Amino acid sequence: MAASCGEWNKNEGATVQANMRPVNCPAPLCDEAATPGGTRRAGRSRRRALDARIVDAHGRYDDGMTRRSALVVAALAAGAALAGCATNTTPGGVPIDARYASANQDSRVLFVVLHYTVADTAASIRTLTEPATEVSAHYLVTDDVLPVIYCLVPEERRAWHSGASHWRGHAMLNASSIGIEIVHPGFRERADGTREYLSFPKAQIDALISLLKDIVRRHGIRPERIVGHGEVSPQSKEDPGPTFPWKRLADEGLIPWPDAGRVAAQRAVFEQQLPDAAWFQQMLLRHGFAPLAGGVLDEPTRRTISAFQMRYRPASHDGTPDAETAAILHVLVTPP
């Protein structure tokens, strides 16, 4: 299969930069500098618009493939795709009758899972594209001054980014999600052994938000289904970490956020009597996390509380249940 939207091509050993139209990628499916919804894939596309060239696996330009020839190839591929529809066959050539279309359908994509790479851009691309790693994501957002959004796996294909995961009754989310990796160093160890989590560049978050809005619009993804890797796999992961600006996503209308007034009122109640571990376990389940059992404050419960705190109360996220955490959880789970 030819390279598609920057996906690693094992057969031909080439990758196509995300701001260039790939070979054998019909224009309606992989626009030159945009996702199917129009989000620009690469901030550098304007500088290269007059000479889009294929880049091989070693980063060398193939001067024989100019923008004009790439457009010709793409047009031919698009024409072949349309011809296939006209003759009523599957992409593999099996005859079908496509005169009827059911109204009872929606996107297979139910979730977006956000990750950070704990690596620079070059290392992130290697990890997410080389066969030996068995790891991938649909998109990679770089931390450049002008961020680049690389499409590594087409959205209709399953990327390997979430592994053992759970959210709102759904398990193994690779099959039903779009994975977005964000180039970010994660954290660094201080001299006393504690972690210092680093911030995300504003330009990078701006690019991510544009991509998220595009994906949400095209797939109809619900706000409560945009999640972090640490939320769907809290026993082993914590990305995108406590410095990720979830509130910014809420301000953009992408995710829900607890009402501050309700939180303050409920916090006063819980400061008089903090709920027990069983209450936290039940409310975390209702919020979307995997089930927790036993009614005791064990390590899995602490890790899950910590994942919740990293999003909604990042200033303190050690997994200790307290009145503020309980109030935020109550407000999110209980409608006004």
User: Catalytic site residues?
Assistant: 181
Residue 321 CA from chain centroid, whole number: 28
* Residues 309-332: b if buried by 16+ CB within 10 A, e if exposed: bbbbbbeebebebbbbbbbbbbbb
Write the burial class of residue 106 (CB in 10 Å: 0-12 exposed, 13-18 middle, 19+ buried): exposed
Is residue 15 a contact partner of residue 60, using CB atoms and an 8 Å limit? Answer: no
Strands (E) across the chain are located at 14-15, 54-56, 61-62, 111-116, 139-141, 149-151, 166-167, 170-171, 177-182, 187-189, 195-197, 226-228
Taking the C-alpha atoms of residue 147 and residue 19, their distance in angstroms, rounded to an integer, is: 12
Sheet bearing 14-15, strands edge to edge = 14-15, 54-56, 61-62
Taking the C-alpha atoms of residue 89 and residue 148, their distance in angstroms, rounded to an integer, is: 37
Rounded (to 5) percent helix, strand, coil in the chain: 35, 15, 50
Write the burial class of residue 178 (CB in 10 Å: 0-12 exposed, 13-18 middle, 19+ buried): buried
Taking the C-alpha atoms of residue 252 and residue 130, their distance in angstroms, rounded to an integer, is: 35
From the DSSP assignment, how many helices (H) and strands (E) are in the chain? 10, 12
Which residues lie below 8 Å from residue 248, measured CB to CB, with a gap of 6+?
Answer: 205, 209
